[in-house]
Amino acid sequence: MTKAQQKAKRTVQLSLFGLAAISAISASVVVHAQRVATRAQNQKKQAIITQIEALNSTADISLSYDQLGALIAAVSAAKKMRDIPVSPALKAQTVNILHRTLNTVRERNRLVNGHTANFSPDGKLIVTAGDDFLVKVFQPNGKLLLSWPGHTQSVTEVVFSPDSHLIASTSFDKTVRIWRRDGTLQHILKGHRDLVWSASFSPNSELIATASSDKSIKIWSAGGVLLHTLTGHTRPVTSVRFSPDGNMLASTSQDRTVRLWKRSGETEFRLEKTLLGHGDEVWGCNFSPDGKMIASASHDWKVKLWSPGGKLLKTLDDSTAGLGSVSWSRDGGTIAGGGTDGNVRLWRRDGTLLQTYRAHQADVWSVSFSHDGTTLASAGKDAWVRLWNLEAARVEPAELDKLVAVGCRWLGDYLQYNPRVESDRHLCSTTDN
């Protein structure tokens, strides 16, 4: 073999050695990369599993005090299981928590910045107001339609006229404003010397009664003319309501009494009865739809039911806190009371406690039934208006995807219309509804 041939042979051998070394290094790099990728995938999987476990825990714990938050957590956990395989135990836990949440949840929606709320008698609107001095009108699904400025201090109550055409708002600014439902300001009622707590339209919408901390009740025409001033309470008057036939007024006061005023002329009323029995300030009253009972709510922890003649019929004392608002369902079969403990309680007319909702983080100042009796609106010091389905969903056990679809349908209005929803806005895509 010549020297040239030997040199060529060595060159080939070196090249082959180099290629072998490069191949070995490449193989090592590939193996390392595969290990890194596998480790990253395992870490990602473990991170998702940890998120699912945390969401399940959140749903389980918060169901007693934040029902919509619990359902969002349960749906989020279920949706994350679509991304990775999980153990049968974790899947069963997630399905069970979502199913239990769906069968427990009653809260359907929330409206922001409102501490008083009322449904329109025709069932088409909800009016709210709060510390931002605005009166707001929503559709029942939570979509904001109108927002009206005007008051210069906090609004204490908003109520519809029986024909749903007008809204009265009362305020710390000592005025009552009468609005058309399209937002047109009709009248500003001036005459009270202190903040105004409450207003009520007569059944024919021709009279308006207002209650004030100046210890008086004033009767106004629908045209805004002051007709009469009723006196007798010795401390601020906190609420006033017309009877269904328009022949009587009921008023409550911090003087611990309920007073009944009887019509004595076309627009005049005289004191008929002073109802004694509450042991603390009385903050709310309402006539039953048939006019046969008057419910009063007091900080003495009790709702009392009275006859129009002033006889005490029953005391509902299942509360463990003061009560500041009371309302009847349209059929007269259910009474709702809002408490200073943040809870809303529902009673049958016979006094049986039906349900207690852990509704708010502070005092409940307003409760209102929808026209069809399926929904209750509660509003309170925490500036939330919460809408409650009065019947649970009663969801049958089902596969995960079906439960997710039920949850997304329940959450749909809240996720779409509530302005404070941020990261969860797109939790439910169209395929989940």
Beta-bridge partners for 295: 286, 305
Helix (H) or strand (E) holding 284: strand 282-287
Residue with the larger pLDDT of the pair 391 and 108: 108
Q: Say whether pLDDT at 29 is over 70.
A: no
pLDDT band at 266 (very low <50, low <70, confident <90, very high): confident
420 backbone dihedrals φ, ψ, rounded to 5°: -90, -5
Most confident range (mean pLDDT) of 111-115, 192-196, 352-356, 390-394 is 192-196
Q: Say whether pLDDT at 99 is over 60.
A: yes
Helix (H) or strand (E) holding 3: helix 3-62
CA 149 centroid distance within chain: 23
How large is the average pLDDT for residues 107-127?
A: 95
Which of these ranges, 226-240, 253-267, 394-408, has the smallest mean pLDDT? 394-408
How large is the average pLDDT for residues 379-389?
A: 94
What pLDDT score does 294 carry? 98
Give the count of alpha carbons within 13 A of 151, CB side only: 31
Amino acid at 7: K
Q: Say whether pLDDT at 30 is over 60.
A: no
How large is the average pLDDT for residues 50-76?
A: 94
Q: Say whether pLDDT at 133 is over 80.
A: yes
pLDDT digits (tens, 9 = 90+) for 276-319: 999 999 999 999 999 999 999 999 999 999 999 999 999 998 76
Helix (H) or strand (E) holding 18: helix 3-62
Alpha helices in 66-144 (DSSP H): 67-80, 88-104
CB 299 within 8 A of CB 280: yes
pLDDT band at 84 (very low <50, low <70, confident <90, very high): confident
What pLDDT score does 81 carry? 87
3 backbone dihedrals φ, ψ, rounded to 5°: -60, -35
Q: How far apart are CA 369 and CA 119, in angstroms?
A: 7
pLDDT band at 5 (very low <50, low <70, confident <90, very high): low
What pLDDT score does 396 carry? 86
Most confident range (mean pLDDT) of 10-14, 35-39, 111-115, 427-431 is 111-115
pLDDT band at 113 (very low <50, low <70, confident <90, very high): confident
Q: Which domains does the chain have, with CATH numbers?
A: 3-105+393-432 (no CATH), 109-389 (2.130.10.10)
What pLDDT score does 397 carry? 84
* Sheet of strand 312-316: strand arrangement: 282-287, 294-298, 303-306, 312-316
The whole-model pTM stands at: 0.87
426 backbone dihedrals φ, ψ, rounded to 5°: -105, 25
pLDDT band at 333 (very low <50, low <70, confident <90, very high): very high
Q: Say whether pLDDT at 410 is over 80.
A: yes
How large is the average pLDDT for residues 165-187?
A: 96
What pLDDT score does 86 carry? 87
Report CA-CA distances (Å) from 252 to 57, 97, 282: 45, 45, 6
Q: Burial of 51 by CB count in 10 Å (0-12 exposed, 13-18 middle, 19+ buried)?
A: middle
CB 283 within 8 A of CB 343: no
pLDDT band at 39 (very low <50, low <70, confident <90, very high): confident
Which of these ranges, 19-28, 141-150, 311-320, 337-346, has the smallest mean pLDDT? 19-28
What pLDDT score does 35 carry? 67
Q: Say whether pLDDT at 413 is over 90.
A: yes
What pLDDT score does 246 carry? 96
Buried/exposed code over 326-352 (b: 16+ C-beta within 10 A; e: otherwise): bbbbeeeebbbbbbbbbbbbbbebeee
Q: What's the token pair of residue 427?
A: 């939790």
CB atoms within 10 A of CB 358: 15
